Structure 1
Amino acid sequence: MPKIIATAEAVNTGANYSTEIKVHQHQLLADELAEAGGTDTGPAPGDYVCTALASCKVITLRMYVQRKQWKVDTIKVKVDLVKGDQMPSGNNTFFCEVTITGELDDSQRARLLEISKACPIHKLLSKPSEIVTIMDGM
């Protein structure tokens, strides 16, 4: 079997859209906003995709600045997802805004922008994916 790089399990027991998520020892909730029929008890699934990308970029940048021993206080990444039918390209588009506070010159900032694009989730989402779905008992 190929190496699994991430895993999650989601369970809904009838509470409208509110869904319990288990990731290793962590318990999370997913839901939909009230205007989408949910009760807003947790982020929507699309928000979790943005969360994965934003946090991966922050972690990748922090690893890099630590290795370089650059003086960086805060690394913040905001990610917005726009569906393809709203974009001229027709592609789903992630807009990522990186904000870094610290003692950095322009060349260091330019390098960090490039490093942010090298995070594993950025690479993963930039390539075509395949989704294989099976039904238990079939």
Structure 2
Amino acid sequence: MPNIIATAEAENTGEAYTTTLQTNRHMLIADEPFDLGGQDLGPAPGDFLCMALASCMVITLRMYLTRKGWEISWIKAKVNLVKSTDNAAGNNIFYCSVSFGEKLSTEQREKLCKIAKACPLHRLLNKPSDIITLLD
């Protein structure tokens, strides 16, 4: 059996695009915005993908800062996704920016940028992936 690192289930019961998501003990709602025919009751799937990457970077940075004993009051990450059809390179691009509550030295900034890029989802999204879809 492969090592499953994350799992989620989604169910749509016909209420336009509003979809209930479940992972472990957590339930969330995904939807599409009004202009795409949704009811805007939750983030769109692409937003969840950006939220996952942003949160992974912030959590990884907080773990590093805690281990090093660096006092940083807050960390913010913003992730924007640009689809491959909207740029000349032909690749999907995640634009990530990270900011901190305190002023950092150049050395600290370089190290923290390296740590942000080492978060598990950053590494995962930088590699090619296969998606296997089966119908029950």
Q: Where does structure 1 lack aligned partners over 5 or more consecutive residues?
A: none
- Report the CA distance between 1:104 and its aligned residue: 2.8
The more displaced of 15-24 and 99-108 is 99-108
Structural RMSD (CA): 0.7
TM-score (norm 2): 0.98
SS in 1 for 2:91: coil
Q: CA deviation at 1:83?
A: 0.3
Equivalent positions of 1:1-138 (< 5 A) are 1-102=1-102, 104-136=104-136
Distance across 2 between alignment mates of 1:103 and 1:46: 32
Does the CA-based 8 Å contact 1:51-1:79 persist in structure 2?
yes
* Residue 109 of structure 1: how far off its partner (Å): 1.2
Deviation, 1:110, is 1.2
Distance 2:20 2:126 in 1: 28
Task: Give distance in 2, aligned partners of 1:75 and 1:92.
Answer: 25
Distance 1:84 1:28 in 2: 28
TM-score between the two structures when normalised by the length of structure 1 = 0.96
Structure 2: distance between partners of 1:101 and 1:36: 37
For residues 22-79 of structure 1, the C-alpha deviation after alignment (integer angstroms, 9 at most, x for no partner) is: 0100000000001111010000000000011000000000000001101111100000
Identity %: 55
Distance in 2 (alpha carbons) for counterparts of 1:72 and 1:51: 21
Code of the residue aligned with 2:37 in structure 1: it is G
4+ residue segments displaced more than 3 Å = none
Q: Does the 8 Å contact 1:31/1:40 carry over to 2?
A: yes
